[in-house]
Structure 1
């Protein structure tokens, strides 16, 4: 009886100490550490309504996933990171107003968020004048990192360079080819076309026709027929916002083959909108679920975003997600939320994109080293698609005079 009681008491003591040990381990685990104190604020000025809303809204979702992940792992410098969204309505004046409010009322550390070059330029003007850091996730207009820029950093390669890359791709597929240009009158498209025209002359690529639409265009029937009449080898197609889907399908309606079409970029909703008829066409990108080499963060973003949004992410979502992690790393390197020290940390950062491992280094004007993939569409379903890599290129930002071509 005494022996049985002794065994029972010993077991109870062991169980108590075991429980205490497990509890102490959990408390000491980094995953259990909760960030405390005043949040480190990112003013996320996005196109949540207006022409580019399908870019802005999807980018915000990706940024919020990064925010949640970072805070679940202890935050930044022991403090939570907070993405504060504000709708710029795809309107430059509204974007500048949002920047002012986030600066003066919310006291954000940095601006981020725009996916439209037009709205990003408005934020750029405020940021540079008022010395507020601005980490641009997606907008690609070169003027965002023109010489003399001090407070702005552009994560996405510049749009003039995209035009350079498109011509190099065409040159590889068919030397001496002709290409028709049909696009909307937005800063992004104008910059891409400037790069195409500059490099086409040097690569022996002929411009068959050059058609530009006003920003509020909704139909391209007549212009698509004009493109067809020129019988080009390739057609550069880039409509603003949802008009891109209309433009693409009207081009296809007139008998242009998918294999002739080159889109400078392909967000998921755009690709799905192009539809199965576009299988065989090409698009430029910087991140895609069809690419190999994605790390655990990249695969995790695809899984989490798809579960939350109902469709797979592409380069827009990736840049927004990766930008929040980039800001986190710069804050840690600065060791403070002082804006000037954060800016200096961004200038000196030498890291890799969290999802792909592609280098992230900025030049003296805040521009990133350029690179681009071109993928060919192989399958398009209701809510997903598959593509295959057709071409990859890297280049130095100064290989063409980007700031003269898109001042």
Structure 2
């Protein structure tokens, strides 16, 4: 069931075929929401900008169905979920374009927040409230839709098994907009207005630095599951993702052997995680007999990399460590390919997952390398079963799953198992029960270690048309 948000109708000064063909190319941006896409095949991503409060709000949709020159149906994924139907009708020499945009029931609350309102929770309702703090907009917005899907799948599975101590889990989402200040405000909202019992998070380490003091002060269990710069667990905050030393220790020697190059260049965003990747790259490249020929850090939401590409070309680097986030990584790799540098320069993406590869595109991403704990193409029965359930729940055109996004699925299952082991969701007891808790899921068996890290497999993969080719399992991450 979906509520209609709005309808609109405009006349485009072109034939129906020409109006249809213009979609995604930036013409007549008022009716296409400045839509940008490479093509209109089902499942392809579309970048849009909806006017909310007079300001364009970047979002992501995915092509669901097309009738050439007649209808385009999009599934809108972020910053809210819904459907956009665009019909093309002849109107003399022009074309009448009618848009119908709907919002799914579960997205009414996020949309209300965008419009300046909020819907509070009843603190006495007998549910376990899981706060999901992630990015639906900004540079890291490419991850949000699949993060939420994986979280909802875990919640559905746990609730089907009678929840936690007979209480169902309820997921409450929040968007940090890839902004540390917004992330802190959203965490406070989750805690004070929605009374969440824990938070599971996928956002930048810059946001983590902003929210950590508040989470510690109020005692919220906080599970941070994506790639990160490392560090020991502090109180009730846990970092469970892959860390630079584990990734680069596998990727650097393998890429030097494969491509025969020794000259490296580091490009990343200017905050704590990319700089930790850069510091680790300097050590690892030197240890492996290579040379670091350049290093550059740019602000989040950078879209123009001409100067960086000139620097890479002048340095004669053959290999690149890319620690840009989401949309920034997409812009850089697409521009590197367009500049003709891919023929001699290969990239390792510290955050190259399926969502980022999907937005970079098959041609521009081909030949990039990654080391993560999960890839959608893992040829295991557990992963095949997981992907089957994911597609059955969210559809064949749902955003791809990745290590970054699938990590919340395991994180929520580990939380539920720790709660069962502790006999309570009281934070001190629950956190005390975490060490030794295991879950066998899509990436294999994952276990919380005595020091609070997550022991998980690592896989070396290469981007190919349509996904990744798993080159090797590279041991375990999270070894104490």
TM-score by length of 2: 0.67
Determine the structure 2 residue equivalent to 1:170.
Answer: 255
| Structure 1 residues not aligned, in runs of 5+ | 1-36, 380-384, 400-407
CA–CA distance in structure 2, aligned partners of residues 334 and 102 of structure 1: 24
TM-score by length of 1: 0.78
Which has the bigger relative contact order, CA under 8 A and spacing at least 6? 1
Q: Over aligned residues, Cα RMSD in angstroms?
A: 2.7
Determine the structure 1 residue equivalent to 2:349.
Answer: 263
Change (3 A) 1:181 1:370: farther
- Find the residue that maps to 1:83 and give its secondary structure: strand
CA–CA distance in structure 2, aligned partners of residues 371 and 187 of structure 1: 25
1:175 Cα deviation from its structure 2 partner? 7.3
CA–CA distance in structure 1, aligned partners of residues 392 and 286 of structure 2: 44
1:165 Cα deviation from its structure 2 partner? 3.4
Change (3 A) 1:214 1:151: same
Change (3 A) 1:306 1:82: closer
Conserved 8 A contact 2:246-2:477? no
Larger radius of gyration: 1
1:103-182 maps to which residues of 2 (within 5 A)?
103-143=191-231, 145=232, 149-173=234-258, 177-182=262-267
- Find the residue that maps to 1:369 and give its secondary structure: strand
CA–CA distance in structure 2, aligned partners of residues 139 and 103 of structure 1: 25
**Pair 1:87 & 2:175 matched:** yes
The superposition leaves residues 1-55 of structure 1 with CA deviations (integer Å, 9 ceiling, x where unpaired) of: xxxxxxxxxxxxxxxxxxxxxxxxxxxxxxxxxxxx7111112122223221221
User: How many residues in Structure 1 have an aligned counterpart in Structure 2?
Assistant: 354
Change (3 A) 1:69 1:396: closer
Determine the structure 2 residue equivalent to 1:393.
Answer: 474
CA–CA distance in structure 1, aligned partners of residues 385 and 210 of structure 2: 32
Higher fraction of helix: 1
Higher fraction of strand: 2
CA–CA distance in structure 2, aligned partners of residues 387 and 225 of structure 1: 29
| Structure 2 residues not aligned, in runs of 5+ | 1-124
Determine the structure 1 residue equivalent to 2:375.
Answer: 288
- Find the residue that maps to 1:255 and give its secondary structure: coil
1:80 Cα deviation from its structure 2 partner? 0.1
Conserved 8 A contact 2:413-2:439? no
Stretches (4+) displaced over 4 A: 395-399
1:397 Cα deviation from its structure 2 partner? 5.2
1:307 Cα deviation from its structure 2 partner? 0.9
CA–CA distance in structure 1, aligned partners of residues 392 and 402 of structure 2: 13
